[in-house]
Structure 1
Amino acid sequence: MARKIRDIMTGSPTSVSPDLDIVTVARAMRDEEIGAVLVAEGDDLLGVVTDRDLVIRGLAAGGDPAKAAIGGLASSVTATIGPDDSLDKAAQIMRERAVRRLPVLEDGRPVGIVSIGDLAIEKDSASALADISAARSTF
Structure 2
Amino acid sequence: MAQKVNEVMTPVPVAVSPDASLVEAGDLMREHGIGDVLVVHEGRLRGLVTDRDIVVRAVAAERDMAATTVAEICSTNVVTVAPGEDAEAAVTLMRRHAVRRIPVMDGDRPIGMVSIGDLAVQRDERSALADISAEPPNI
Distance 1:23 1:14 in 2: 15
Q: Does 1:51 align with 2:51?
A: yes
Counterpart of 1:21 in structure 2 is 21
Does 2:63 align with 1:63? yes
Q: Pairwise mapping of residues 98-117 of structure 1 onto structure 2 (< 5 A)?
A: 98-117=98-117
Q: Hey, what does 2:37 align to over in structure 1?
A: 37
CA distance in 1, matches of 2:36, 2:63: 22
Residue identity opposite 2:114 in structure 1: V
Task: Give ranges in structure 1 of 5+ residues lacking alignment.
Answer: none
Q: How much does 1:64 deviate? A: 1.1
Which amino acid is 2:5 matched to? I
Structure 1 CA distance for aligned equivalents of residues 6 and 17 of structure 2: 25
Q: Displacement, 1:21?
A: 0.7
Report Cα offsets for 1:69-103 as digits up to 9, x if no partner: 11111112342111111111110111111111111
Cα distance in 2, alignment partners of residues 26 and 79 from structure 1 = 22
State yes or no: 1:82 paired with 2:82. Answer: yes
Distance 1:75 1:115 in 2: 17
Secondary structure of the residue aligned to 1:56 is helix
Q: CA deviation at 1:2?
A: 6.9
The aligned counterpart of 2:128 is 128
The percent identity for this pair of structures is: 45
Q: Residues 24 and 78 of structure 1: is their aligned pair in 2 closer, same or farther, counting only changes over 3 Å?
A: closer
Cα offset, 1:4, TM superposition:
0.9
1:116 and 1:15 map into 2 onto residues whose CA distance is 19
Distance 1:125 1:52 in 2: 27
Contact 2:48 2:78 survives alignment (8 Å) = no
The alignment covers a number of residue pairs equal to: 139
Counterpart for residue 91 of structure 1: 91
TM value normalised by structure 1? 0.93
Q: Relative to 1, partners in 2 of residues 1:34 and 1:2: Cα closer, same or farther, differing over 3 Å?
A: farther
What does residue 9 of structure 2 align with? 9
Divergent runs of 4+, >3 A:
none
Q: RMSD value over aligned CA atoms?
A: 1.5
Taking structure 2 as the reference length, what is the TM-score of the superposition?
Answer: 0.93
